[in-house]
Amino acid sequence: MKHLFKYKWYLKDGYPAPGISKNNYNVFGTFICGGGSTMGYKLAGFNHLGGVEIDKRISEVYKINHNPKYLYTQDLREFNKRTDLPDELYKLDILDGSPPCSSFSMAGNREKDWNKNKVFREGQTKQILDDLVFVYCETILKLKPKIFILENVKGLISGNAKVYAKSIINKLEAGGYKVQLFLLNAASMGVPQRRERVFFIGHKKEYQFNKLSLAFNERNILFKEIDAGDIKGKEYNLRPSHAPYALICKGGKSLSSVHPKGHCFNTYKQDNNLVSATIVADNGGGIMIHSSGKRYLTDDEYKQIGSFPMDYHFNNMQAKYIIGMSVPPVMIAQIANQIKLQWLMNCNNNV
């Protein structure tokens, strides 16, 4: 079964993806990080104008790889106060955003961290992470795009966090949008990774679009299909705390399930016959061990699992961190392609 978008691809080959036509729809991003979403839209033929990113180092990485027309390196709260934005940002076809989600992650502290100021990464200012979804809602209501996408972790629709999800929908519907909620798994969309994410997707009520249908059933890509490339010089020994347990941990389970003291939380040994576990950005966790049990994954393997281009320039930043922080490009390409086919191509007939 042929995949619509390749998970192994190169920036040098240009956009859009083979078999996809270029279109004239404009997109702008927030929380753009390494540009996973940016590349997804470009693969699907869209014109991506740039975005907003608070982290100066990551903003530089974004600039190197994407050469954006507009790039604002600042807190989205400050961006929302700007009065000097170009007119075309008020005429967007799609506004995209993936607010930092650690406060809602099922693997985090959840309620214990809600309403607390936190530093998301060294060098950034402190910010209350769980209200960034509402800061992004303010961006939507400021720019008033035809369509918006808000991506977040599955935990946002679990347990006590459901009240946040309802508040997001209520706020945006009161602002003139019709909103749908989707829970999607990247593994069913041509991404070699088990990554479940929530997507709030809405359009202005003035457009009488039919309900968006997002049902992806592409063949699962197993870890054994990932090309490690040349591992000479890249293969390195496991930490002493990992090595004894990597040999007996099977089925893609966390090493904490076999470690007597649970010291290897969120560290996974890959199973050749399963889709890869989710790449986690945290430098202290989410470590992946090769199925051989003898080494960690290489950057080339992380790129393919995250559907990042093989020639992406990380500018001396950790590849795993940027890929784990970013939405897989192929995941967004699939969604954007369906929005184009189901909504935007019918736009003139529905106003």
* Interhelix angle 36-43/329-342, nearest 10 degrees: 40
Q: Which amino acid is at 19?
A: G
- Which residue in 163, 43, 161, 183 sits closest to 104, CA to CA? 161
Distance (Å, whole) CA 179 – CA 201: 6
- Give how far Cα 259 sits from Cα of 16, 220, 326, Å: 45, 29, 30
- Which residue in 350, 351, 340, 349 sits closest to 147, CA to CA? 340
Confidence of residue 126 (pLDDT cuts 50, 70, 90): low
Torsions phi, psi for 39 (to 5 deg): -65, -35
Predicted pLDDT of residue 245: 82
Residue 70 has pLDDT above 50, yes or no: yes
**pLDDT tens digit sequence for 168-220:** 999 999 999 999 999 999 999 999 999 999 999 999 999 989 999 999 999 99
Query: Average pLDDT, stretch 303-316?
Result: 98
267: alpha, beta or left? (left if phi > 0; alpha if psi -120 to 50): beta
The more confidently predicted of residues 75 and 116 is: 75
Instruction: Please give the structure tokens belonging to residue 283.
Output: 């430098």
Q: Residue 318, Cβ neighbours under 10 Å: how many?
A: 13
- Per the CB < 8 A criterion, the answer to whether 181 and 200 are in contact is yes
Instruction: Please give the structure tokens belonging to residue 275.
Output: 């889709």
- The percentage of residues in the chain with a pLDDT greater than 90, rounded to a whole number, is 69
274: alpha, beta or left? (left if phi > 0; alpha if psi -120 to 50): beta
Sort strands 94-97 and 147-153 into parallel, antiparallel or unpaired.
Answer: parallel
Q: Which amino acid is at 162?
A: K
Global pTM value = 0.90
Query: Does the domain formed by 24-216+328-349 have CATH 3.40.1710.10?
Result: no
Q: Is 101 a catalytic residue?
A: yes
Sorted by where each begins, the domain ranges of the chain are 24-216+328-349
SS3 content of the chain, % helix, strand, coil (to 5): 35, 15, 50
- Which residue in 336, 328, 297 sits closest to 33, CA to CA? 328
Mean pLDDT over the full length of the chain: 89
Distance (Å, whole) CA 65 – CA 50: 11
Query: Average pLDDT, stretch 104-120?
Result: 46
Predicted pLDDT of residue 110: 38
**pLDDT tens digit sequence for 139-168:** 999 999 999 999 998 888 888 778 889 999
**pLDDT tens digit sequence for 279-296:** 988 655 678 999 988 889
Predicted pLDDT of residue 108: 46
Q: Which amino acid is at 243?
A: A
Predicted pLDDT of residue 263: 73
- Provide the sign of the torsion angle of the four alpha carbons 100, 104, 108, 109, taken in this order: positive
**pLDDT tens digit sequence for 212-244:** 999 999 999 999 999 988 887 666 778 888 888
Residue 258 has pLDDT above 60, yes or no: yes
- Per the CB < 8 A criterion, the answer to whether 216 and 334 are in contact is yes
Torsions phi, psi for 178 (to 5 deg): -100, 125
- Give how far Cα 202 sits from Cα of 79, 135, 176, 343, Å: 22, 16, 10, 11
User: Looking at 33, 101, 137, 249, which residue is catalytic?
Assistant: 101
